[in-house]
Every structure is written in structure tokens, then in C-alpha cells.
């Protein structure tokens, strides 16, 4: 059984947590303890987000007096940085002889994607409204409300291809655990001559993960984030955690853009197209989400939506 596990960037560097490599390493180690067991039961691919980290690097370079590199370069930097941490901890957790590799991954997007005109992907730290407005004026950023604060938002075009997909499939077939598509992969677009070039964006890692999972014939997709499940009526009087749901039923909900919406869309797409199961849950409960004891399972064969408190 081949599994693709997507680790959320906000889960690896939680809100309010100290923005250090040590903090990220602690969170990575906790995640790897749960997912390393999957390598013994079949192929394993690990993807990860980079929302907090890519913004963190941009702020660091700006504060150092230089101009921040383009987003595709920052995406590549964070893919290497976070991939290194995951690869090292995963290698330490694998059985003797187990192999793991981090692969810089390029994700193809369309230059005509409407997302370039409507940035909605949050990256970087959470600011007060006043500070966010100041940074927007100074740096030419787009900013938007994010929970109890404000964050920078950037374009998040839909992934349409993975340049290194054949390499990922080959490595998995040979029993190598692959860490790839960090931050959704490095966004690139093809020119009229077929050459690829980086673009200014951050690809949603859940959509890219679903694309990879379908492309390599994975049996399941597990999306681990900083919330414990997909909720109906989130923040409202009828809020309740969904336990099992069909892709069609999941598509009827209106989730927040830039956060739960792409996760739900990726899970529904994977389950619908492949017949495999997609799960969404908390990184802190990774083992239970993988085993079906926590989180939300998206299953093409689900005949009714069930909740952790009962049945609809």
C-alpha cells in the first residue's frame, strides 16, 4: 500500500511558536514517529507546507537590508530546509536499511491562472491590522485577515503537472521513502518553446499532493494539519467534526479559501478519481488519523455523512 502524507506548514511551525529551527525539528520528530511505520507497509511519500517558513525567510532577508528573492527561489530554499529536517528524522526512524531522499520538485502551473489576479494564500507571520497595512504599503504586499490577525497573501495557482513525477514513482517503486513537493513544489510555467521558468507564487501543497498521489497510483492520501478534523458549520452554533463523508457531500460545503478549502478539494479529488481514501486531521494525532481513529475520512463509498458525535 502506497501512502502520500502531507504535513502542514502551520503544523510544523505553529502559530505563536518560537520561529526557530529547533522548534521545527521538535515538531518534525513528533510527526515522523507516526508516519515512519508506513514505510514498512508499502511506499511512502511525504510532502509538506511552507506557509510560515517562506514568509519568515522573506522577512529575514528584508530585515537584513536586502531585497527578498522571488517566491520561487524562497520556495526552493524552504523545500531544501524543511525537507532536510524531515529526511533526517525519517531516516533515523526507519528500520535498518531503510532509505529516504529529499527531492527538489517543480510544479507546473498555468501563467493564465486567475489566482495571479486574486492572491489568497497566507504566508509568513501573523500581524496586527495596523502593522499589516504598514507592511503592505512599504513592500507592495497584499494582506488579508487570518484568524485573529492579518497575514501576507500571495497567488496560489492550481498545479497542473509535476516535472519530477516519473522520478518520484521510480524511487517509490524501489522502496525509497521520498520527501518532495515541499510548499507545493517550486512553481514553474512552460513557455511557448517548452522551457520552464519560475513564477512568483506559492502552490497549495494539498493540491500538489493529490496530484502526486494520483500520478503514482497511491492507495491513500493523509493530510495532517493544525486542526483535528473537517468541521461542519465551523465557528457556528451547529459546529461538529465530520468523521466520514463522500467526495460529493464534501463539495457541498463552503470552506475558507486559503486554508480548509484546498484541503477538502484535494481530498475529494483524490478519493473521487482513484477510489482511495483521503484523511484530514491533526499532526499531533497523526497515528490515530492514519488508523481512522481520528480526523475526517473522505471515501467514495460513503453512503452517509457521519460525525464524531453521531450520524446525520
Q: Which residues sit opposite 311 in a β-bridge?
A: 306
Q: Which residues sit opposite 149 in a β-bridge?
A: 146
Which residues are the active-site residues?
9-10, 121, 205, 263
Q: What is the grid cell recorded at 57?
A: 525567510
Residue 137's alpha-carbon distances to 63, 141, 143, 149, 289, in angstroms, are 16, 7, 10, 17, 42
Strands (E), the chain: 3-7, 44-48, 99-103, 106-109, 121-127, 142-146, 149-154, 159-162, 176-180, 186-190, 196-198, 220-225, 231-232, 240-245, 277-282, 296-298, 306-307, 310-311
**Between β-strands 159-162 and 149-154, what pairing exists: parallel, antiparallel or unpaired?**
unpaired
Q: What is the dihedral of CA 9, 227, 213, 99, to 10 degrees?
A: 60
Q: Which residues sit opposite 189 in a β-bridge?
A: 197
Amino acid at each position: 500500500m502506497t501512502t502520500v502524507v502531507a504535513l502542514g506548514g502551520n503544523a510544523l511551525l505553529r502559530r505563536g511558536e518560537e520561529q526557530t529551527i529547533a522548534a521545527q525539528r521538535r515538531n518534525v520528530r513528533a510527526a515522523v514517529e507516526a508516519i515512519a511505520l508506513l514505510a514498512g507497509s508499502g511506499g511512502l511519500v511525504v510532502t509538506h507546507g511552507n506557509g510560515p517558513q517562506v514568509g519568515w525567510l522573506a522577512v529575514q532577508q528584508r530585515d537584513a537590508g536586502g531585497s527578498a528573492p522571488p517566491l520561487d527561489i524562497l520556495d526552493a530554499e524552504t523545500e531544501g530546509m524543511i525537507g532536510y529536517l524531515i529526511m533526517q528524522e525519517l531516516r533515523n526512524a526507519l528500520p535498518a536499511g531503510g532509505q529516504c531522499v529529499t527531492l527538489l520538485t517543480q510544479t507546473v502551473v498555468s501563467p493564465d491562472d486567475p489566482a495571479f489576479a486574486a492572491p489568497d494564500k497566507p504566508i509568513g507571520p501573523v500581524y496586527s491590522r495596523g502593522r499589516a497595512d504598514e507592511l503592505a504599503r512599504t513592500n507592495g504586499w497584499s494582506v488579508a485577515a487570518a484568524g485573529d490577525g492579518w497575514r501576507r497573501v500571495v497567488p496560489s495557482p492550481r498545479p497542473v503537472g509535476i516535472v519530477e513525477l516519473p522520478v518520484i514513482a521510480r524511487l517509490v517503486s524501489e522502496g525509497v521513502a521520498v520527501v518532495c513537493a515541499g510548499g507545493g513544489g517550486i512553481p514553474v510555467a512552460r513557455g511557448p518553446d517548452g522551457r520552464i521558468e519560475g513564477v512568483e507564487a506559492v502552490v497549495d501543497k494539498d493540491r500538489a499532493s493529490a496530484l502526486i498521489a494520483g500520478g503514482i497510483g497511491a492507495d491513500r492520501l493523509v493530510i495532517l494539519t493544525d486542526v483535528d478534523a473537517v468541521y461542519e458549520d465551523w465557528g457556528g452554533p451547529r459546529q461538529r467534526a465530520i468523521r466520514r463523508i463522500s467526495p460529493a457531500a464534501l463539495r457541498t460545503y463552503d470552506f475558507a479559501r486559503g486554508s480548509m478549502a484546498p484541503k477538502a478539494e484535494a481530498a475529494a479529488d483524490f478519493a473521487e478519481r482513484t477510489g482511495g481514501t483521503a484523511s484530514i486531521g491533526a499532526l499531533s494525532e497523526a497515528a490515530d488519523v492514519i488508523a481512522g481513529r481520528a480526523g475526517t475520512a473522505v471515501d467514495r463509498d460513503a453512503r452517509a455523512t457521519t460525525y464524531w458525535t453521531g450520524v446525520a
